[in-house]
């Protein structure tokens, strides 16, 4: 996510790290590189101009110019401006004084609007809220069936319409929700490949019938400025209250994320970072700004770990590590735990000080490698997992054939395991294990 932009920003700031003071000359070079980086990331040119002007004004102040550490001042200034560009503070979903709070999802076809409606319902369900999903897309024949399937998957209720009259559907939806006391209605609406008057008229009518507490525009991060322009058009013609960005995990440029708030004046409230229902997060501008500057996003990683990992199992593994009882079965268990958190590149991207080396690190410990290591351990007997010392050449060959991996990889895994065991005997590692949570240790 945003790898290209992050790498270039770190390169620029690294250049300033070697400067004794900020001057007109070195700032001119740095600002030019930052401007090019943002434009290459498909950030709106007006947003880029304002961003650069703000940095220039703050960085050339007397306090910064006379500072003995211009690098730290610049990092602080750039981080503050990134946060401001992204929306400063995270915002909660709006709620109405009486149930239900109606959320209307709008956006173009293909942005992931229907699946995002399901993810939002799942998110609210995890917060202890009851939701009723409904499709008001009358043009796409399979829209209702798709959303009903999603509703069943996430474990929320779905409202089946029995008419094509939008006014009657809306009235029946609200009545049903009031009768059963749902906290939220999430209404998925029609989309098109392009904005047209018919679509806008239909959405305006739906908004009038539902009187939603919040209209959320769903934007595909990968479409860059097209997403920003569409959001602005929807905002002007329909009126939107907030934005959800989908596919942020696949967006290496980040233009939509960095432009949409400034251009529309509407906050990003959630982001989709994967295909699973759990791959849906509240948007924190400060955390994304930290990631762009190579500072990581440990808070999000911890939150994911709390949801996905087995705490008791983690505590037991930590105890076994401290007592030097860690076996290959334990290693296999931890590999499976790590896989629950997402791809290795995502995990490494949330850790601080990885910066432009994150890709290199993820290659060294890729998702494929995790799967290969798991396959090798699973090809061992129970005796071999508990006591790897019995694994001789003949056994290594059998394990290699059983896992479909070269003997060299079997040898490498055993070496890594032995090194881990030896390191855990050292006082420094024992102290670290006691001081930090289990996730930090495994990372």
For residue 277, give the CATH number of its domain: 3.40.50.300
What is the model's pLDDT at position 83?
85
- CATH number at 426 reads 1.10.260.30
Q: What is the per-residue burial (b if ≥16 Cβ within 10 Å, else e) of 116-154?
A: bbbbbbbbbbeeebbbbbbbbbbeeeebbebbbebbeeb
Burial of 78 (0-12, 13-18, 19+ CB in 10 A): buried
189 and 335 in one domain? Answer: no
133 and 77 in one domain? Answer: no
What is the model's pLDDT at position 394?
92
What's the Cα-to-Cα distance from 92 to each of 65, 142, 175, 212, 442, rounded to whole Å?
A: 39, 31, 26, 15, 33
Block residue for tokens 């090809």: 379
Judge whether 362 lies within some domain.
yes
359 and 213 in one domain? Answer: no
Judge whether 435 lies within some domain.
yes
Token digits of residue 129: 């809220």
* Number of structural domains the chain divides into: 3
Judge whether 283 lies within some domain.
yes
305 and 290 in one domain? Answer: no
Q: Which of 239, 262, 295 delimits the end of a domain?
A: 295
233 and 106 in one domain? Answer: yes
Judge whether 94 lies within some domain.
no
Judge whether 274 lies within some domain.
yes
Mode of pairing for the β-strands spanning 214-220 and 184-188: unpaired
167 and 289 in one domain? Answer: yes
131 and 71 in one domain? Answer: no
CA-CA-CA-CA dihedral for 157, 162, 166, 167, to nearest 10 = -90
Judge whether 291 lies within some domain.
yes
Distance between CA 40 and CA 218 in Å, rounded? 23
Q: Which of 295, 318, 338 delimits the end of a domain?
A: 295
What is the model's pLDDT at position 223?
78
131 and 48 in one domain? Answer: no
391 and 335 in one domain? Answer: yes
Distance between CA 315 and CA 317 in Å, rounded? 5
Judge whether 93 lies within some domain.
no
What is the model's pLDDT at position 304?
58
Judge whether 96 lies within some domain.
no
Distance between CA 218 and CA 151 in Å, rounded? 18
What is the model's pLDDT at position 346?
59
Q: In what order do the strands lie in the sheet with 101-106?
A: 157-159, 131-135, 184-188, 101-106, 214-220, 242-246, 268-272, 280-282
What is the model's pLDDT at position 442?
41
What is the model's pLDDT at position 210?
94
Q: Which domain holds residue 72?
A: 3-86
66 and 168 in one domain? Answer: no
What's the Cα-to-Cα distance from 316 to each of 283, 336, 380, 405, 437, rounded to whole Å?
A: 33, 15, 22, 30, 12
Block residue for tokens 């910064």: 64
> E strands, 172-304, where?
184-188, 214-220, 242-246, 268-272, 280-282
185 and 277 in one domain? Answer: yes
| Phi, psi angle pair for 271, to nearest 5° | -135, 145
229 and 196 in one domain? Answer: yes
- CATH number at 39 reads 1.20.120.140
Q: Which of 253, 270, 295 delimits the end of a domain?
A: 295
pLDDT tens, per residue, the chain with 443 residues: 566 777 777 787 777 777 777 777 888 888 888 888 888 888 888 889 999 999 888 877 655 555 556 677 778 888 888 888 888 766 789 999 999 999 999 999 888 899 999 999 999 999 999 999 999 988 887 888 999 999 999 999 999 988 889 999 999 999 999 999 999 999 999 888 888 888 899 999 999 999 999 999 999 888 778 888 899 999 999 999 999 999 887 665 667 778 888 888 899 999 998 888 888 988 888 878 877 776 654 455 555 555 555 666 666 666 666 666 778 888 887 777 766 666 655 555 555 554 444 444 444 556 788 889 999 999 999 999 988 999 999 999 999 999 999 999 999 999 888 887 777 666 655 555 554 444 443 43
Are 395 and 309 in contact by the 8 Å Cβ rule? The answer is no
Are 112 and 220 in contact by the 8 Å Cβ rule? The answer is yes
Instruction: Give the closest residue to 48 by CA, choosing from 58, 29, 33, 26.
Output: 33
What is the model's pLDDT at position 179?
93
């Amino acid at each position: 996510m945003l790898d290209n932009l992050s790498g270039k920003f770190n390169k620029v700031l690294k250049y300033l790290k070697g400067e004794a003071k900020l001057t007109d000359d070195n700032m001119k070079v740095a600002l030019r590189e930052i401007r090019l980086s943002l434009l290459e990331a498909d950030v709106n040119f007006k947003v880029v101009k304002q961003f650069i002007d703000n940095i220039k004004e703050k960085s050339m102040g007397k306090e910064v110019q006379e500072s003995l550490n211009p690098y730290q001042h610049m990092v602080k200034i750039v981080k503050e401006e990134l946060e401001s560009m992204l929306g400063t503070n995270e915002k909660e979903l709006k709620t109405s004084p009486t149930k239900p709070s109606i959320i209307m999802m709008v956006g173009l076809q293909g942005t992931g609007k229907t699946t995002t409606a399901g993810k939002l319902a799942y998110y609210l369900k995890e917060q202890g809220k009851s939701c009723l999903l409904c499709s008001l897309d009358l043009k796409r024949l399979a829209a209702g069936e798709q959303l009903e399937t999603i509703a069943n998957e996430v474990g929320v209720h779905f409202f089946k319409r029995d008419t094509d009259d939008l006014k009657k559907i809306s009235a029946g939806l609200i009545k049903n929700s009031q009768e059963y006391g749902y906290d939220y209605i999430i209404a998925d609406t029609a989309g098109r490949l392009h904005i047209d008057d018919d679509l806008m008229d239909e959405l305006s009518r739906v908004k009038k019938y539902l009187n939603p507490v919040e209209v959320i525009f769903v934007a595909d991060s990968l479409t860059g400025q097209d997403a920003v322009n569409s959001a602005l058009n929807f905002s002007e013609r329909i009126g939107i209250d907030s934005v959800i960005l989908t596919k942020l995990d696949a967006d290496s440029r980040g233009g939509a994320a960095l432009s949409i708030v400034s251009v529309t004046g509407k906050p990003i409230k959630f982001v989709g970072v994967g295909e699973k229902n759990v791959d849906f997060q509240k948007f924190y501008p400060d955390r994304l700004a930290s990631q762009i500057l190579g500072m990581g996003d440990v808070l999000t990683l911890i939150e994911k770990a709390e949801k996905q990992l087995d705490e008791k199992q983690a505590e037991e593994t930590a105890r076994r590590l401290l007592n030097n009882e860690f076996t290959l079965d334990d290693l296999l268990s931890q590999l499976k735990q790590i896989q629950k958190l997402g791809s290795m590149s995502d995990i490494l991207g949330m850790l601080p000080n990885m910066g432009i080396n994150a890709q290199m690190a993820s290659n060294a410990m890729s998702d494929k490698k995790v799967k290969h290591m798991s396959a090798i351990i699973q090809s061992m007997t129970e005796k071999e997992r508990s006591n790897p010392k019995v694994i001789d050449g003949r056994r290594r060959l059998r394990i290699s054939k059983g896992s479909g991996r070269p003997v060299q990889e079997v040898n490498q895994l055993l070496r890594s395991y032995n090194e881990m065991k030896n390191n855990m005997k050292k006082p420094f590692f024992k102290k670290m294990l006691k001081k930090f949570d289990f996730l930090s240790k495994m990372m």
